Chains A and B, each alone.
Chain A
C-alpha cells in the first residue's frame, strides 16, 4: 500500500472514531441530562431500560427511527429539508480539531480554534432555516430569537477566546494545551474572568437554560424544531447535545489544560474535565429560571461585551509588561 493510501486510511479511521464518539456521547448526554434533572427534582429518572435506564437513549433512537417524517403544509420544502444538516454537519466538523490526547486528534490545524468558532457559527443559519421553512409562527419566533441570541453572544465568546489566544500565542488546539504545561490557564486572574465569560456566553450559544429563549417550551412549544419529527428531529437533538459537548470540550482545552493531567491517560483527563463542565451546566439548567429576551440581550451587550473587551485590554497590557 502506498504511503498516501495509508495516510488516507488512517484519516478515515480517525474520522470514523470521532463520529462514533459523537453518537455515543450525544446518547450518553441525553441519558445524563434526564438522570441529573430527575435527581435534582427528587425523582429517579429512567429505570426500566437497562441498568438504571442506561439504554433509554437507544430505545428513544429506535423510536425516532421508526417514526413518520411529517412535512408541514406550506413549508418551504428545501429550506425545511436542509436545515437539520446545516445544524448537524458543523457540529460534527468541529471534532476535526478536538484534542482528546497528544496524538488523539483527527487533524491538528494551525488555525484550530478559529476553525472551530467559524464552523459552529454556521449552525445559526440552520436554526434560522428551520424556523423559516416550517411556516409556523413558533418556529419562526424561535429561529429569529436564536439568530439574535447566538450572534450577540458570539462577541463576548470570541473576545474571551481571544484572551487565551493572546496568552498562548497560537491558534492550534494542541499548541494551546502545550502552552498550559506550566499552569492551567484559569488559574490566572484575567483568564479566570475570560473563563467565566466563556461559560456564560457558551451556555447562550447552545441555547440552554437560562438562555433557552429560542426553544422556550412554555412559550414557543419547542421553538425552531417544533415542526420536525422522526430522524430530522433526532438530528437537531444530536446536534444540540454534540454542540453541548463541543463547548465543554473547548472550555476544557482552553482553560482547564485539556488532556494535561497526572497519572491517568490523557483522553481520560480530557473527558473528565469536559464532563465536569457538562455536569455543571446541567446543574445550571435545572436551577436557574429563563431570562427575558431583552434582559438577555442587554446582558450580552451591556454586561459581558464591555467586560470581555476590558479583559482583552488588560491582558494586552500584562503581556506587554512581561515583554
Chain B
C-alpha cells in the first residue's frame, strides 16, 4: 500500500520534470533556419562542385589521371616556341563525379578545387554532364571566385 503511494508520487514528480524540460526549451533559441531565405554556412572541407582557377592550370593532367570516375576531361595545346602548354578546354561531368576530392589534393598549383555550393539542380542535362570550367559565367554552380557568387 505504501509502495503504491510512493509510485504515484514519483509518477507525478516525473511528469513535472518533463514539463520543466519542455518549458525551458520554449525559451531557447531555435536551432532551425528559414532555409530558402537563410542558408547555413558550409564547412571548410565541404566538397561541392569542381571548380577551376583557369590562370593557374598548367595542364599537367594529374587530375585527369587520378580521377576514379573519369569525370574530368581537358585538352591543351603546346606552344612550339616556349614549350609551355596552354589550356584549350576543361570539361567536368558532375554526373560521374563522386566528390572524392582527389583532384584538388593532387593538383600541384591548386588550380582545381571543390567549391561549397550544394544547390546544383538544373533543367538542361548538358549543364550537369558537360560543364565547361573555362566559361564559369554560364553556370551558377561553378566559378565561385567570380564576382557575386560567394566564397569558395
Contacts and interface: CB of A to CB of B under 8 A. Distances in A.
Contact of B25 (A42, A284, A288): A42
Interface in B19-50: 19, 21-23, 25-26, 28-32, 34
Task: Indicate the size class of the contact surface on chain B.
Answer: 10 to 19
Contact of A43 (B19, B21, B32): B32
B18 interface: yes
Nearest to B29: A42
B25 A40 contact: yes
Interface string B1-28: 0000000000000010011011101101
A40 B27 CA distance: 8
Contacts of A47: 34
Contacts of B28: 42
Nearest to B19: A287
A203 to B, nearest CB: 13
B122 to A, nearest CB: 26
Contact of B26 (A39, A284, A288): A39
Interface string A10-44: 00000000000000000000000000101111111
Contacts of B31: 42-43
Given A47-B34, A287-B18, A288-B15, A41 B25 contact: yes
Contacts of B23: 283
A143 to B, nearest CB: 29
A85 interface: no
B26 A40 contact: yes
Q: Which of the listed residues B15, B23, B30, B31 has the most CB atoms from chain A within 10 Å of its own CB?
A: B30
A283 B26 CA distance: 10
Contacts of A283: 19, 22-23
Interface of B: 15, 18-19, 21-23, 25-26, 28-32, 34
Q: Which 9 pairs of residues, A with B, have the shortest CB-CB distance?
A: A287-B22, A44-B30, A39-B26, A287-B18, A40-B22, A42-B31, A43-B32, A42-B30, A42-B25
Given A40-B25, A43-B30, 11 more contacts: A39-B25, A40-B22, A40-B26, A42-B25, A42-B31, A44-B32, A47-B34, A283-B19, A284-B19, A286-B22, A288-B18
